[in-house]
């Protein structure tokens, strides 16, 4: 399936929702977005599927001094995935790894508290989960999120993004029950290459969209309440 660039993440979310239409009447459906960039995409998906929207937070563990290179990831629910090959090859001291993990866990906790505004985390067990991001570059964040969600025993996990690299999609398919990614170009480049507007999503925008999604889908204040319109 070919198309031009997305105008922004909301445009991408509307496009992705079309590929997820068959899940609109799934029992106990829950859309979880990876903040921050996945939230505007997930917002449009949740509206189209008439499902509640919440978050699942993943933080990359960057190599000290080379933070763009990942040596692992952490996710909501206490998940910590370490790439032992990278750590061993670069001879990263254990205390440095522990320091990065502690820092990112603190940031993850800060974001959860800030975004949820006192609401509890949603109930995952037995539910059909659509896990959304704005794109799949390496697939590492999505894999960490799926791995974390498995601990909560969902009924099914559908990993979804509007665009992704072939390698990332193949990786995600190994861990998710399904990977929905409508655009998998040969010349992927980066996620931002597929957006006219790829400005950073702010914390305030995340909170605003979560509030708007709750109002639009008539979900009661407790995030785990579930239910349909």
Residues with Cβ within 8 Å of 156's Cβ and at least 6 positions away in sequence, in order, are 128, 129, 177, 178
pTM: 0.84
pLDDT (tens place) for every residue of the chain, 229 residues total: 445 799 999 999 999 999 999 999 887 999 999 999 999 999 999 999 999 999 999 888 999 998 878 888 888 878 888 889 899 999 999 999 999 999 999 999 888 888 888 788 888 999 999 999 999 988 888 998 998 899 889 999 999 999 999 999 999 999 999 999 999 999 998 999 999 999 999 999 999 999 999 888 754 333 444 443 3
Query: How many other CB atoms are there within 10 angstroms of residue 49's CB atom?
Result: 22
Q: Which residue, 98, 81, 52, is CA-closest to 146?
A: 81
Domain residue spans of the chain: 9-58+125-218, 60-115
Fold assignment, 9-58+125-218 = Rossmann fold (3.40.50)
CATH class of 60-115: alpha beta
């Amino acid at each position: 399936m070919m198309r031009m660039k997305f105008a922004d993440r909301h445009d991408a979310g509307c496009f992705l929702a079309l590929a997820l239409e068959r899940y609109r009447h799934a029992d106990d459906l829950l859309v979880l977005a990876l903040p921050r960039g996945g939230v505007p995409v997930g917002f449009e998906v949740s509206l189209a599927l008439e499902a509640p929207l919440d978050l699942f937070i993943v933080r990359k563990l960057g190599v000290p001094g080379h933070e763009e290179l990942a040596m692992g990831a952490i996710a909501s629910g206490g998940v910590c995935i370490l790439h032992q090959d990278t750590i061993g090859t670069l001879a990263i001291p254990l205390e440095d790894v522990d320091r990065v993990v502690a820092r990112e866990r603190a940031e993850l906790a800060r974001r959860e508290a800030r975004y949820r505004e006192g609401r509890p985390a949603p109930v995952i067990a037995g539910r059909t989960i659509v896990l959304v991001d704005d794109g799949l570059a390496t697939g590492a964040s999505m894999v960490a999120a799926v791995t974390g969600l498995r601990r909560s025993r969902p009924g099914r996990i559908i990993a979804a993004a509007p665009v992704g690299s072939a390698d990332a999609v193949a990786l995600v398919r190994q861990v998710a029950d399904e990977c929905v990614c409508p655009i998998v170009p040969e010349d992927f480049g980066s996620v931002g290459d597929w957006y006219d507007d790829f400005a950073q999503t702010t914390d305030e925008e995340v909170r605003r969209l979560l509030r708007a999604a709750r109002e639009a889908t008539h979900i009661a204040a407790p995030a785990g309440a579930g239910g349909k319109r």
